[in-house]
Amino acid sequence: MPIPGINTVKTVYDAVRRLPQLPDAYLHPWRRESRWRMSEYRDLYQGRRCFVIGNGPSLKKTDLSRLKNEFTFGLNRIYLLFPELGFNTSFLVAINDLVIEQCAREIASQPIPKFISWHSNRFFQEFPKDMIFLYTTYTGPGFALDLTRRVWEGATVTNVTLQIAYYMGFEKVILIGVDHNFSDKGKANTTVTSTGDDINHFSTKYFGTGFRWQLPDLETSELGYKLARKAYQKAGRTVLDATVDGKLTVFPKVEFNSLF
């Protein structure tokens, strides 16, 4: 079967599989409250800029102290860096089931607004007042303009974050630490268990020994990034990439220190 045909079959299959999830995704009390909380953020930061902080090793080459008074999105286990930084990111985003399952308590304890995938709600015993559950799915591709409805994950939390930042109205979004390069190779989305120090992130403990994680799907990630670039350009906004030595080529490059 040609590739377009295969993709169509996969999309239809995933859509059918999602049908039992739809009632909760829109009617569950936590989701109803999340949709209201999310709507409060719509265009709240029009004309402002923000930084999306990936978790790549390049963060160790980046002067993050310059971000103290900026709007920042931290991803997944970025909070491991907070003690060293001396400040927290403005927001935290996590969508991967394996990350959330193993770190739910740590994530919930962060004293900042948190955006979490709805399919991981089972890992939380309570619904914190600073948490929003997003209805994210694997079916796509697409760039969501309404974050109270379904959001395509685009194979990376960074793509979801770009959609959140757009919804919030940020005019300029700058990526850092999005290295788009992993030493571990293998079939995309395969679950593996770390057997030693993590060399793919800013901390060796990020996905350290015993941590279960999924191999990246860089191809699908790039598809999502291209959709984000198109959406931002159409709205007269910009996404820039200030990652030191990053391998991503979708967004215009900019030197980090030149932004201050």
- pLDDT value at residue 30: 97
pTM: 0.93
Sheet holding 71-75, edge to edge: 131-134, 114-117, 91-94, 71-75, 49-53, 172-176, 238-241
Q: What is the pLDDT of residue 3?
A: 44
Number of domains the chain is built from: 1
**Given this model, what pLDDT does residue 66 score?**
97
- Residue 223 neighbours by CB distance under 10 Å: 18
Domain containing residue 234: 3-259
pLDDT at 220: 95
Predicted pLDDT at 124? 97
C-alpha to C-alpha distances, 109 to 74, 85, 103, 211, nearest whole angstrom? 14, 18, 10, 20
Q: What CATH number is associated with residue 63?
A: 3.90.1480
Structural contact between residues 226 and 156, judged by C-beta atoms closer than 8 angstroms: no
- Provide the pLDDT for residue 1: 42
pLDDT tens readout for residues 94-113? 999 999 999 999 999 999 99
All residue ranges of the chain with pLDDT < 50 are 1-4
Dihedral angle over CA of 255, 75, 144, 38, nearest 10: -120
What pLDDT was estimated at residue 156? 97
